[in-house]
Amino acid sequence: MPQPTPRMTLVLGGARSGKSAYAEGLIQACPGPWLYLATAQAFDDEMVARIAQHRARRGDAWRTRDVPLALPEAVAASEGPVLVDCLTLWLTNLILAEADVAEATERLLAACADARGPLVLVGNEVGLGIVPDNALARRFRDAAGRLHQQLAARADRVVLTVAGLPLIVKPQAPHTQAPRTGAPT
C-alpha cells in the first residue's frame, strides 16, 4: 500500500542535483491543482533562461506565483499541494533587501505549520563546501543552515538529492507528526 503524501517534505541538494524535478514529481503525485511558489528573480539573461526551462518542464497544469520576498504570506494563503522553489534564493533576496531574516524565518515556519495541503520545500545544501572567505557569504551559508535545520525538525520527510537520486534522510513515520520544537545549531 503506498504511503500518503506527507504534510511537509524538505528536499535539499546541490546545484543540478535533481532536487527540483524530484520535488515536482512529489507534488504531481497529489491531486491538482498544483501551486508553484517561485522565489527566483531574473537579473540576467542566464537566469531568465533557467526560469523559462523550469516553467517549460512543469507545463500548463501548474499555477505559478512569483514570491521573491513574500514567501510566508504566499504559503499561508495557499490551499492544495504547494511546491516552494527555492528557499536559498528566498534567503538571498531577504539578505540583499536587508530584511530581518530571523523574523521572516519565523513567519515562514508558522505558515508551514499551518499549511492546508501537502507542502514540498526545495533548498540548496550549501554547507558541504569550504568556509566562505567573506562575511556576506558566511552570513548566507549560516542562515541557510539554520533555516534547513528548523524546517527539517518540523518536516515529516527530508530528502537529499545527489546526481538525480533521492536519498531519504528522514523517512515519513506512519501515523506520527513531526516534532514542532528543536533549536538548530
What amino acid positions are annotated as catalytic residues? 54
Q: CA-to-CA distance for 71 and 138, rounded, in angstroms?
A: 23
Look at phi and psi of residue 98 and say left if phi exceeds 0, alpha if psi is from -120 to 50, else beta: left
**Residue with cell string 520535488:** 23
Q: CA-to-CA distance for 151 and 148, rounded, in angstroms?
A: 5
Q: Would you give the distance in Å from CA 153 to the centre of its chain?
A: 14
Give the number of other Cβ atoms within 10 Å of residue 65's Cβ.
Answer: 14
Which residues, other chains included, contact 41 with Cβ-Cβ below 8 Å and sequence gap of 6+?
A: 47, 68, 89, 93
3-state SS, residue 115: coil
- Give me 39's grid cell: 522565489
Pairing of strands 82-85, 157-162: unpaired
